[in-house]
Amino acid sequence: MSNDPAEGGHPSPEAAPDDAHRDEAPLETLSPEERLFRMRHSAAHVLAEAVIELFPEGKYAIGPPIEHGFYYDFDLPRPLTPEDLERIERRMRRTIKRNVPIEGQWIPRDEARAIFADQPYKLELIDEIDEETVGHFRHAEFDDLCRGGHTERTGQVGAFTLTHVSGAYWRGDERRPMLQRVYGALFPTQEELDAYLAAREEAERRDHRRLGRELDLFSTHEEYGPGLIYWHPKGARVRLEMEELWRNEHLDAGYELVYTPHTGRSTLWEQSGHLDFYAESMYSPMDVDGSDFYMKPMNCPFHIQIYKNARRSYRELPMRLAELGTVYRYERSGTLHGMLRVRGFTQDDAHIICTPDQVEDEIVGVVELFLRVLGAFGFHEVRARLSTRPEEKYVGAIDDWNLAETSLRAALERTGLAYEVDEGEGAFYGPKIDFDLVDALGRDWQCSTVQFDFNLPERFEMGYIAEDGQEHRPFMVHRALYGSIERFMGILIEHYAGALPLWLAPVQATVIPIADRHVEYAGTVRDALAARRLRVEVDDGGDRMGAKIRKAQLQKVPYMLVVGDREAEGGAVSLRHRALGDLGPTPLAEAVDRIAHERDTRAPDPEPEEAA
């Protein structure tokens, strides 16, 4: 049983009575989204009933609708098995077939405590409710604490199946009991459910954690530190390519590369405000010579110190400081997820410090850089989301906010990128654009961000001497392209199902001698490839040729060069491609040129019909 991140939130039982009255509206009068919400919510109640019927001594906690379905958390006498899930699902279908009514009412707190007297998790929720009445829903003989949002009868819940069980701490608190979370998928029709399950199966096939092990790219070691990534040699080769592209693109775009410490004295984090507002995500301090030092959760305060190391003039702006800086942020262990959610990661961080009249062009340059680099990795569908000033709590002058928001909009429009606007959803310290890339399964991944900051320049009293000879406060823009090297790597693995483009592949070609007498010529082939700085291995083991080819295929190696008597005599290879199959006899020089050209142009894998 794995510890999965929590999905979705639980409908609060202390909602106002009017929320429950909305259940009286017939399903057919509701929007498709509201109907689906109610189907999934009702299915969670039916799930809880089935589990408690099978485990009468069990305790049930919370069970909300979530994206794709529902879940419910249970405290049970033993771990659930796949056979248990089948039994639970059968009981659920029996209740659904009976089509019993789901009825809600608001009852006094004392009455609710009596109903749930043997359910400690429900009692805890009741004790947190300020109102004198609480929401109570019942179907058949099953009672639950709930604010409502249900179908009228159990037979209206739609097509569903139970998918898996994971561990989840009560209230997300590692100091509280570990519960068993039972997940279900639910859609209005069987066809929609089947399509989702097929997509889910494909996503599991692409899971970067499994592929990371199989392809020997990375590992994690919970016993020595959860949420910390160990990059293996093959994974490190991929990372080097990612970093090299990043460095070259940033240098070409006029950025200066910097390196900053991994830790800083508490006074730095007090001035930045992190200890006041971000301490829960920071690691505990280390006592060094009587002072508290913290591992950095962000690079920004360090870049500001570099800027402030000299008196700055407008002639030096814009200043663009970029770093591949490793940061450390505390995440609850239950939320950690391979490379996608970690505690230590390398952020591709940059800060642009500029004058007001430079802002728009700088943002345009950032967006163009983002699209260019994401495109190099094969992500050509990118969605943008602009978040604007909150209504109440914000820092900075409104004129500065307006200029920043206008610049962000103009940059998106000048680059032709479609975008949505989240009014009032900006951070308290500035507006931003989030960029979501779309992977091969159509999933959105939020990676790149460009974020104005009106807070830190004030806290650190940043300034520059303008043309008028007076000191002014500069604009500062945070921006990250990959988001983090680790997370972007995880996304890449899943996007390509491990078959990374040749320019990224840790091994770009494998030379396969048919027999021992061909090993010497295989070395010649290897040397020809290595001379062009291609990453190549020779499989000179004792397996038969077919087994060697299969091994290379399983390792997602782009090219296999098979050599035997005929190839050795003619200075050729029998060329194979992981997607195209057998490409036939090829002169060695031609094969090397082909592979090197594909590497140099960062070409994607050709489709089978392109083989010619």
Could you tell me the residue ranges of all domains in the chain? 2-202, 218-260+296-495, 261-295, 509-610
Query: Catalytic site residue 122?
Result: no
Say which of 4, 68, 73, 347 is annotated catalytic: 347
DSSP string, 491-503: HHHHHTTT---TT
Query: Catalytic site residue 478?
Result: yes
Say which of 478, 518, 556, 577 is annotated catalytic: 478
Query: Catalytic site residue 349?
Result: yes
d(CA 500, CA 371) in angstroms, rounded, equals: 19
The domain made up of 2-202 is a member of CATH 3.30.420.40: no
d(CA 390, CA 424) in angstroms, rounded, equals: 4
Q: Please count the residues of the chain.
A: 612
Quote the tokens at residue 492: 């890449």
Q: What does the pLDDT read at residue 147?
A: 87
Query: Catalytic site residue 358?
Result: no
Query: Catalytic site residue 300?
Result: yes
Nearest by Cα to 438 from 377, 386, 388, 486: 377
Say which of 41, 239, 329, 599 is annotated catalytic: 329
Q: In what order do the strands lie in the sheet with 142-145?
A: 102-108, 133-139, 142-145
The second-level CATH assignment, the architecture, of 509-610 is: 3-Layer(aba) Sandwich (3.40)
Q: With beta carbons less than 8 A apart as the criterion, state whether 537 and 507 touch.
A: yes
Contacts (Cβ under 8 Å, ≥6 apart) of 573 = 511, 525, 561, 562, 563, 567, 585, 586, 588, 591
Say which of 4, 41, 45, 300 is annotated catalytic: 300
d(CA 429, CA 234) in angstroms, rounded, equals: 40
DSSP β-ladder status, 419-422 and 382-387: parallel
Contacts (Cβ under 8 Å, ≥6 apart) of 482 = 242, 246, 348, 447, 448, 488
Say which of 73, 75, 349, 453 is annotated catalytic: 349
Query: Which helix (H) or strand (E) segment is 134 a member of?
Result: strand 133-139
Q: What does the pLDDT read at residue 12?
A: 40
Question: What's the pTM value of the predicted model, to 2 decimals?
Answer: 0.86
Chunk the chain into consecutive blocks of 10 residues (it has 612) and report each block's average pLDDT, rounded to whole numbers. Answer: 36 38 67 95 98 97 96 98 98 97 94 96 94 93 92 95 95 90 98 96 96 98 95 98 98 98 96 92 94 96 98 98 97 89 96 97 96 96 96 93 96 93 95 95 94 96 97 97 97 97 98 97 98 98 95 98 97 97 97 98 74 38
Say which of 10, 351, 487, 495 is annotated catalytic: 351
Q: What does the pLDDT read at residue 9?
A: 34
Class of domain 218-260+296-495 as given by CATH: alpha beta
Positive or negative, the CA dihedral 340, 342, 345, 347 is positive
Query: Catalytic site residue 399?
Result: no
Query: Catalytic site residue 45?
Result: no
CA dihedral 209, 210, 212, 213 (to 10 degrees): 120
